[in-house]
């Protein structure tokens, strides 16, 4: 009965952005997703939005900010649960579209749908737990000398609308309905997503899930928008829009540092949480190799080639002590790599960056160590390992940069001093992995090395592989620059909600003015110096 366009009744890719709950056809050029497996285009055509729509989405987010942050915890949690329900209900559509747009296998995408819904449920649980409010209370001391103290309370409130830029390599779990969006919504921040053009259809479907859940649970419409448009134009406009209060980003170091610069240059700078670049060093001890050289090699090459090496935590660097065992290990790796086959990468440009990255390592003096077979289609390069010495590695910054894909550099070191110098040359990392025995030699080595690994990375792993990120309370998917723009947090796990909050103190407020959370005795808090859990 009215002419305002509405979301389709069943999940469907329509080529439209979603602004404050309504589909919007952009008129600033068109775009089609491309199937990386054969380079063919996918329908329908997306109409790119321009500056007016970006402005509209950002304003709608700001306009509903006070209303959304006033939604009580249970209703906000119900909204997050509803997003999970909607995502799971459209699993067939998501799997079909995401596999076509990314070339990733069906099993992987099925798992990612589950993880993405699971993230929303985890943040719903986090909202219900209530620790994110950060409640603190110091009682009035009317008799204190020389001056009385009044009642002071503290809680955390959301920062404001958050702009989210999703990743190419996780079309669901790190994209439109990914961890940044889930944690920002959990914190009480409206979200405006710049939909990733490489998987625009998946992004539209995920956006429909969130918008539908928001409508169904009575959230204000401006709480969520997803925009399709030129990456640099929409991205820069969002990052500099006065309504935007924080940025979540997963992608390349170049794009991440560009957002950091834009955010820092604003009249009022805002925080940027960019997860960017990591080569995830693995250290394999002599005794671990002695115990099982073939197993160590198979585990490493499996982690290296998983998903065509397109994980933020892909092990791109292996340190091996120069011993006889190392030769056996290198031979096992060579065999495993040689018998591996390339899988289709996400996009043609990611594939070509892979080639340039391998070139860069060669240019810096690394030699070819092993090479597998290229896969079918234009974008499935052969997995490979390259070799260098720690002394060379320490001096060649080109060797410290990520090669996104299934290529790793094996670094042979003579002694611990050389190893330590090589590790010191590295920038911050998401992970650092030790492959070791529990023999005395290895334990002593690990104890000496741990402080350096803590300074280097956000997550330290023993005898597992880095490509596997649990979505739990204790996860850290973060680390010092350039792994991320901000080492003080994580983009995976419940701690991520804290990125979008800031403390506010309330001094001497009459009870009738105090925010309701202070009156809820079930919420964890700090009460006159003591931690209180109901």
Q: Which of residues 53-82 bind its own copies (CB under 8 A)?
A: 65-66, 70
Torsion 517-521-525-528 (CA) sign? positive
Q: Which is nearer to its own copies, 324 or 464 (CB)?
A: 464
Q: Which is nearer to its own copies, 359 or 438 (CB)?
A: 438
List 91, 125, 216, 290, residue binding its own copies (CB under 8 A): 125
**Binding status of residue 34 toward its own copies by CB under 8 A:** no
List 353, 487, 517, 520, residue binding its own copies (CB under 8 A): 487
Closest distance to its own copies from the beta carbon of 518 (Å): 11
- Backbone φ and ψ for 267, nearest 5 degrees, come out as -55, -40
- Backbone φ and ψ for 348, nearest 5 degrees, come out as -65, -35
Measured at the CA of 351, the angle between CA 345 and CA 352, to 5 degrees, comes to 170
Specify the stretch interacting with its own copies by CB under 8 A; choose among 76-84, 128-136, 185-193, 341-349: 128-136
DSSP 177-242: TSHHHHHHHHHT--EEEE--GGGHHHHHHHHHHHHHHHHHTT--GGGEEEE-S-HHHHHHHHHH-T
- Active-site hit among 53, 101, 112, 275: 275
DSSP 404-473: -SSEEEEEEESSHHHHHHHHHHS--EEEEEEE--SSHHHHHHHHHHHHHHHHHEEEEEESS-SS----ST
Q: Which is nearer to its own copies, 376 or 504 (CB)?
A: 504
Closest distance to its own copies from the beta carbon of 196 (Å): 25
SS3 of 103, please? Answer: coil
List 22, 353, 425, 506, residue binding its own copies (CB under 8 A): 506
- Active-site hit among 86, 189, 204, 312: 312
- To the query of whether residue 64 is one of the catalytic residues in this protein, the response is no
CA 51/CA 73 separation, integer angstroms: 34
Q: Which of residues 304-363 bind its own copies (CB under 8 A)?
A: none
How many residues in the chain?
534
**Binding status of residue 522 toward its own copies by CB under 8 A:** no
Closest distance to its own copies from the beta carbon of 182 (Å): 17
- To the query of whether residue 101 is one of the catalytic residues in this protein, the response is no
Q: Which of residues 242-281 bind its own copies (CB under 8 A)?
A: 260-261, 264, 268-269, 271
Relative orientation angle of helices 200-216 and 91-102, to the nearest 10 degrees: 150
Closest distance to its own copies from the beta carbon of 485 (Å): 7
**Binding status of residue 41 toward its own copies by CB under 8 A:** no
**Binding status of residue 478 toward its own copies by CB under 8 A:** yes
**Binding status of residue 533 toward its own copies by CB under 8 A:** yes
CA 21/CA 210 separation, integer angstroms: 9
Site string for its own copies, 134-173 (x = CB under 8 A): --xxx--------x-xx-xxx--x-xx-------------
Token pair belonging to 186: 């959990």
Closest distance to its own copies from the beta carbon of 77 (Å): 14
CA 233/CA 213 separation, integer angstroms: 29
User: Which helix or strand (DSSP H or E) is residue 354 part of?
Assistant: helix 348-363
Q: Which is nearer to its own copies, 195 or 271 (CB)?
A: 271
Q: Which of residues 430-459 bind its own copies (CB under 8 A)?
A: 438, 443, 446-447, 450-451, 454-455, 457-459
CA 132/CA 128 separation, integer angstroms: 9
Q: Which is nearer to its own copies, 331 or 509 (CB)?
A: 509
Q: Which is nearer to its own copies, 177 or 272 (CB)?
A: 272
Token pair belonging to 183: 């944690």
Give the residue numbers annotated as catalytic, written as ranges: 275, 312
């Amino acid at each position: 009965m009215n002419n305002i366009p509405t979301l389709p009744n069943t999940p469907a890719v329509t080529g439209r952005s979603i602004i404050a709950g309504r589909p919007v056809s952009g008129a600033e050029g068109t775009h089609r997703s491309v199937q990386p497996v054969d380079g063919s285009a996918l329908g329908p055509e997306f109409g790119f939005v321009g500056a007016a729509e970006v402005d509209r989405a950002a304003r709608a987010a700001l306009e509903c900010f006070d209303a959304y942050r006033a939604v009580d915890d249970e209703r906000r949690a119900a909204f997050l649960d509803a997003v999970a329900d909607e995502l799971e209900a459209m699993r067939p559509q998501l799997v079909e579209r995401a596999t076509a747009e990314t070339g990733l296998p069906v099993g992987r995408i099925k798992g990612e749908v589950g993880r993405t819904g699971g993230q929303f449920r985890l943040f719903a649980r986090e909202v219900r737990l209530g620790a994110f409010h950060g409640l603190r209370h110091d009682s009035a001391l009317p008799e204190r000398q020389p001056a009385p103290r009044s009642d002071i309370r503290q809680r955390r409130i959301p920062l404001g609308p958050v702009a989210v830029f999703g990743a190419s390599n996780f079309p669901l779990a790190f994209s439109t309905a990914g961890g940044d969006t889930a944690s920002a919504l959990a914190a009480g921040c409206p979200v405006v997503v710049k939909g990733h053009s490489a998987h625009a259809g998946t992004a539209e479907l995920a956006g429909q899930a969130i918008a539908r859940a928001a409508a169904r649970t009575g959230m204000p419409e401006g709480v969520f928008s997803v925009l399709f448009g030129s990456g640099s134009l929409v991205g820069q406009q969002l990052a500099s829009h006065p309504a935007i209060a924080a940025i979540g980003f997963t992608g390349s170091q170049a794009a991440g540092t560009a957002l950091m610069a834009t955010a820092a240059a604003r009249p009022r700078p805002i925080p940027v949480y960019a997860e960017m670049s990591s080569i995830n060093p693995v250290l394999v001890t002599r005794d671990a190799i002695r115990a099982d050289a073939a197993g160590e090699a198979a585990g490493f090459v499996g982690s290296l080639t998983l998903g065509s090496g397109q994980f933020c935590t892909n092990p791109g660097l292996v340190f091996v002590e120069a011993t006889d065992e190392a030769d056996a290990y290198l031979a096992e790796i060579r065999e495993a790599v040689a018998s591996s086959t390339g899988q289709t990468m996400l996009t043609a440009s990611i594939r070509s960056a892979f080639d340039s990255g391998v070139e860069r390592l060669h240019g810096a003096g690394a030699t070819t160590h092993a090479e597998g077979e290229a896969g079918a289609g234009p974008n499935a390069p052969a997995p490979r390992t390259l070799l260098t010495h720690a002394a060379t590695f320490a001096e060649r910054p080109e060797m410290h940069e990520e090669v996104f894909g299934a290529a790793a550099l094996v670094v042979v070191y003579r002694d611990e001093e050389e190893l330590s110098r090589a590790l010191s040359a590295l920038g911050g990392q998401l992970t650092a992995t030790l492959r070791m025995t529990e023999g005395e030699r290895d334990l002593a080595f690990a104890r000496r090395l741990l402080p350096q690994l803590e300074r280097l990375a956000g997550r330290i792993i023993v005898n597992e592989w880095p490509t596997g990120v649990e979505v739990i309370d204790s996860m850290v998917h973060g680390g010092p620059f350039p792994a991320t723009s901000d080492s003080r947090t994580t983009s995976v796990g419940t701690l991520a909600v804290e990125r979008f909050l800031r403390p506010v103190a309330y001094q001497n407020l009459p009870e009738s003015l105090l925010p309701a959370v202070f009156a809820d005795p079930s919420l964890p808090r700090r009460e006159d110096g003591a931690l209180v859990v109901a």
